Amino acid sequence: MNITPAFDVIKPGVHTLIQDLGRFGYQHLGITPGGPADLHAYLWANKILGNDSNMASLEIHYGLMTLRALTDTKIAICGAEFGVNINDNPAFNWQTYNVKTGDIIQYGGARTGKCGYLAIVGGLQTEMSHHSRSTVIRDELSEITSSSLYEGQRLPITTQTPAQQAAQSQVQRAVPRHYIPNYSAPLTLGLLPCYQWPLLTSKQQQQLLTNKYQISPQANRMGYQLIGNMIADLPATLTSEGVALGSVQLPADGQPIVLLQDRQTIGGYPKAGIISALDCSQLSQRQQGEEISFKLENPLISRYKMQAFKHFFDF
């Protein structure tokens, strides 16, 4: 497989990362999975390009990124709305574009949502660590997988033949409108209670399910801390154990924390339960101050939704 530089990073943006589906099987070593904050938008970006679901893409937080194309290729833009331009011409969200050598791709600031995805046909071919290209800065596994994009960085892809380039340029694809989420809509997260749910009193359970929370400034890929009416007299810190994506922790201050892709691998705070990976995707697109609430979710329905989602995207 021949590799060629595809993009030169002129401006890296506020916090731009390389993500594939993640790094699995290493949590017992303290290595977090990472992976896309918004699995839905990431998978659509790869799907409309005809990529495999695990092809590494750029995850752009807050925007303000500029790239120069170093070869003819094809990209997809999905996720948060940043007001993207290609050579000063508007590039609309949730669709593919052909780019030529020398083209300039420029991201503005986030308008709706919080993180966007720029996928490249064939996927980015950056260094792998522990069977993944995903960036998790805290884990410091390697230089490439432990740092955000930087000015002057060159992003490699697989070299394509002229015939492949010609075939790809024939068709422009877009995500069907009914699959495009509204990141400005009020968000209710479906809670799947865990074995620690009965440790809460009926009053504490109802308070969690009826509170209207706001997203605090402490909201990132590790987790979202929520602000609302304090849940008092919570159970004491428990013996540390492995934590899953979407775990809803209840620390002593009575403000829930929803753990996300870059979470710690173990923790001792009491947990009410988890939310699904699909709800995690929606939560990751909400900005500081936006309203969040919880409801009890049916485990069978949640499992069916996730199975259908995985089948649709073939992963």
pLDDT digits (tens, 9 = 90+) for 105-131: 999 999 999 999 999 999 999 999 999
Q: Is the pLDDT at 167 greater than 60, yes or no?
A: no
pLDDT grade, residue 312 (50/70/90)?
Answer: very high
**Within a 13 Å sphere around the CA of 221, how many CA atoms are in the beta-carbon half?**
26
Report the alpha-carbon distance of residue 258 to residue 244 in Å, rounded: 10
Domain locations in the chain as residue ranges: 3-179, 187-313
What φ, ψ does residue 50 adopt, rounded to 5°?
80, 15
Q: Is the pLDDT at 262 greater than 70, yes or no?
A: yes
pLDDT at 143: 87
pLDDT grade, residue 236 (50/70/90)?
Answer: confident
Those residues with Cβ within 8 angstroms of residue 85's Cβ, 6 or more apart along the chain or in another chain: 91, 104, 105, 106, 108
Q: Is the pLDDT at 52 greater than 90, yes or no?
A: yes
pLDDT at 237: 75
CATH, domain 187-313, list 3.40.50.300, 3.40.718.10, 3.30.43.10, 2.40.100.10: 2.40.100.10
* Least confident piece of the model among 127-141, 168-182, 279-293: 168-182
pLDDT at 172: 78
Residue 107 contacts residue 137 (beta carbons within 8 Å): no
- End-to-end CA separation in angstroms for the chain: 23
Higher per-residue pLDDT: 95 or 160: 95
Q: What is the 3-state secondary structure (H, E, C) of the chain?
A: CCEEEEEEEEEECCEEEEECCCCCCCHHHCCCCCCCCCHHHHHHHHHCCCCCCCCEEEEEECECEEEEECCCEEEEEEEEECCEEECCEEECCCEEEEECCCCEEECCECCEEEEEEEEECCCECCCCECCECCCCHHHCCCCHHHCCCCCCCEEEEECCCHHHHHHHCCCCCECCHHHCCCCCCCEEEEEEECCCHHHCCHHHHHHHHHCCEEEEEEECCCEEEEECCCCCCCCCCCCCEECCCCEEECCCCCCCEEECCCCCCEECCCEEEECCHHHHHHHHCCCCCCEEEEEECCHHHHHHHHHHHHHHHCC
* pLDDT, tens only, 124-155: 999 999 999 999 999 989 988 999 999 999 99
What φ, ψ does residue 140 adopt, rounded to 5°?
50, 50
